[in-house]
Amino acid sequence: MSDSLTQKQVAAWRQLLVCHSRIIRLIEREFESQGLVSFTFYDILFHLRHAPNREMRFRDINGEVVLSRSALSRCLDRMAQEGLVAKLDCPEDPRGLIVQITGKGEAELKKAWPVYRHLIVNLFGRHFKEGELDFLAQRFGKVADGLENPFLA
C-alpha cells in the first residue's frame, strides 16, 4: 500500500469522525431542546425496535452502541426505571440479560422520529446525491459486515 493511499485513508477516517461527532452533538442538543428522550436512549430504542421480537441481549446492544459496558448497564437501568424498556432473564444463559422495548419506548421513538428524520436530512443527507447515498450505505455495510462484534467473540 502506498504512503499516499494511507494518508488518504487517515484523512477520510479523520473527517468521518469529525462529522460524526459534530452531527451527534447537534442531534443531542436538538433532542434536549425539544424535550425528547436523550439521543443515547433513542439509539438503543431504535436498535430494539428493529430487532426480532423487539428485544436484544445486552451483549448484542453493547456491540452496536458507543458506550462502555458499565455505562450501558447504567443507561439501561435508567431506561427501565422510566418504563422505556423491560429487562428480562435470558432462558439460554442464566447470566444473560434480554432487553425489550416497551409501549412507552415505542411511543418515545415515534415522537422523536420526525425531529430525527429532519436532522438526518439536513445535517447529513442533503450533502449527497441519491447514488452517493447508495454507495455510502453499501460501503459502510460492507465495512460493518467485515467487523466482528467484540462482545460476541
- Structural domains of the chain, with CATH: 13-145 (1.10.10.10)
Task: Return the CA Rg of the chain.
Answer: 18
pLDDT at 147: 84
pLDDT > 70: percent of the chain: 96
In this structure, how many other beta carbons lie within 10 angstroms of the beta carbon of residue 71? 13
6, pLDDT greater than 80: yes
What pLDDT sits at residue 148? Answer: 76
Predicted pLDDT of residue 153: 55
| Predicted pLDDT at 151 | 60
96 C-beta neighbours (distance < 10 Å), count: 13
Please report which confidence band the pLDDT of residue 152 belongs to, taking 50, 70 and 90 as the band edges. Answer: low
- 108 has a pLDDT exceeding 90: yes
**What pTM was estimated for this model as a whole?**
0.87
Selection from 11, 64, 117 nearest residue 75 by Cα: 64
Instruction: Label residue 64 by pLDDT band (50, 70, 90).
Output: confident
pLDDT at 114: 98
Question: What does the block give as the cell for 112?
Answer: 422523536
